[in-house]
Structure 1
Amino acid sequence: MTGQPTKPLVLITGAGGNLGRSIGTALSREYTVAGLDRSAASEPFPIIEAELTSGEAITAALAQIREEHGTRIASVIHLAAFFDFSGEEHPLYRKLNVEGTRLLLRALREFEVEQFLYTSTMLVHRPGRPGEVIDEDQPIDPQWAYPKSKAEAERVIEEEAGEIPVALLRLAGVYDDETMVPTLAQQIARVYERDFESHLYSGRRDAGQAMLHRDDMLDAIRRTVDRRHDLPRRTALLIGEPETIGYDALQDEIGHLVHGQEEWPVLRIPKPLAAAGAWAQEKLEPLIPDAIDKGEEPFIKPFMVRMADDHYALDISRAQTLLGWAPHHRLKDELPAMIANLKRDPPGWYRANKVTPPKEWPTPA
């Protein structure tokens, strides 16, 4: 041990990712920040190499933490997780998201941990319907593979945390001026390209999903860490914007900002037909030359069609009460800057959001 830190220690898993670096940087003024990730780094804060699917690797990394910082940790912010949008099960959902969480908590038993902060998702909850608002008492009933793994990880935390206080932050879809969750990025890209699919939808057009600006997410996490001694020992909080924009209204707003159209016509098609179309696209993809689709599978999957009516509008009163937190951003207010970034640098926007670019760039208004 090289001496106790002058500031409380925060340990972040998945620290090398975009969100991890943002969180660590935001906390670095008030806290000593260290991270764990698959690759070591020294900037913007020290990150120790650790494969979080390996108990031995976690133990070795935490031994280094003990040597450099001692055994007291103010907060462990557990971000590390596998995610994809195939909708299908993947070995890493269990190996990393679930069992990796178990291994981490067991290794932390040798430390004095003041808080275990887990970044979960609002999607662990059963979805509502337009007009309904869900809170933390909404049943846990995730609808596809990724949120199912997060819900199972929450159960593991309850089993393994012991005396460690736990805060579960169930986040809405995160965005900022340049990057956003894949569903929103794909929706914007389809309108930008005037893709025929942008005029089709199989669900209720007033259904939508709550969003969360990156700055508001950072603020919620900072407040959760700061108030770790004041929170209940087991706390679950929904974190997102209370206003949810329905699909139709969002399409109109995107169409107006991109192409100057007041309305973006959308035809509702029956779910069985939409699901069959998505299934056919998925099965035919190997037959389509890569020169046309660049080897990319279709984004819209049959499981998405099944959930097209799902609606996530959030009651954030618990976060307001316990954290004094409320979002300062609204997706509708931020959309002009988001679309301006797309129009200013389309290739850069497509790269940042990992969207396959079109063969020919359109000329928006």
Structure 2
Amino acid sequence: MTTHVWGYLSEYEKEKDDILDAVQTVFSSGKLVLGESVSGFEAEFAAYHGLPHATGVDNGTNALKLAIEALGIGPGDEVVTVSNTAAPTVLAITGAGAVPVFVDVRESDFLMDTDQVAAAITPRTKAILPVHLYGQCVDMAPLRALADQHGLKVVEDCAQAHGARHHGQVAGTMSDAAAFSFYPTKVLGAYGDGGAVITADERTDHALKQLRYYGMEKVYYVVRTPGHNSRLDEVQAEILRRKLGRLDDYIAGRNAVARRYEERLGDVSGLRLPATNPGNTHVYYVYVVRHPQRDAIIEALKERDISLNISYPWPVHTMSGFAHLGWGEGSLPVTERLAGEIFSLPMYPSLAETEQDHVIDALRDVVASL
């Protein structure tokens, strides 16, 4: 059983006519690069968040990287973030030439421990980068206060939090710039790669639109500042325009699945279910649970043809590709402990109750047998 394939195929069957019409709309327009679909999606995505600016780019990693660069953060600058995240968060920081500085996460919600951030700030710190992981927001008030106190930028990683809210504010609207991924499995997913950056600042938006287009401005071949080839594809933009109108429905569907997990798994001994923090609206990009015998559970479920994901089994700071940063095992104890206990249950809006029950019943049986 492959959860992501299930979700993609069931969604496609339901929305096939609209998706294919989106493709036809672009192909028949005669404009395949930075046309009306991209500009239209940018305007609509910005409006969804109540902000004036959005810039579509080719993927979520580059959305984060370009956001960092557009805010003037580069070689030698430090960015405070977490290791309990997907590697692209950190790759975006290092790709911009900056240095990631990690703080641990909280046991209760797996999100950035904001109480540790002040101690991580040095004269080289230029930004704080919270990750709204698994579908709910980090507590932003203390981060904003620290940023204002020290003259720092705040960049939100919203790759897993489309439409999530924090005390009424939409994820991505509580910072200097916020990056999104539209990878197919996301809450708002394309049918390929895609990303975007939103901001309230006109100069930041101007820099982003230059950076995604080689550093050029209006006139092709005239480079104003070194940039990248990071444009959002017209086809993906048109598909995203159609799906954006259904985003709140996707979120409602995910919440319905989450409620059913809570109802049927809340009494399972030793199994910790996700907690939604006060003031947060969770969008459940993934439904992450925790058990001290995670590995035994995963293996037993495989014998029943159920393969579940782990988000994430290897903290970024322990990966060999980041060894040069100097963060060895033991430096982030909560993050490292969680990596051995967390796993994700199937989560997508169209998950049928029969499919969900199959996983729930098997999980209950396996845990009871431990």
Pairwise TM-score range, normalised by the shorter structure: 0.3 to 0.5
- When the two structures are superposed, what TM-score results if normalisation uses the length of structure 2? 0.33
- When the two structures are superposed, what TM-score results if normalisation uses the length of structure 1? 0.33
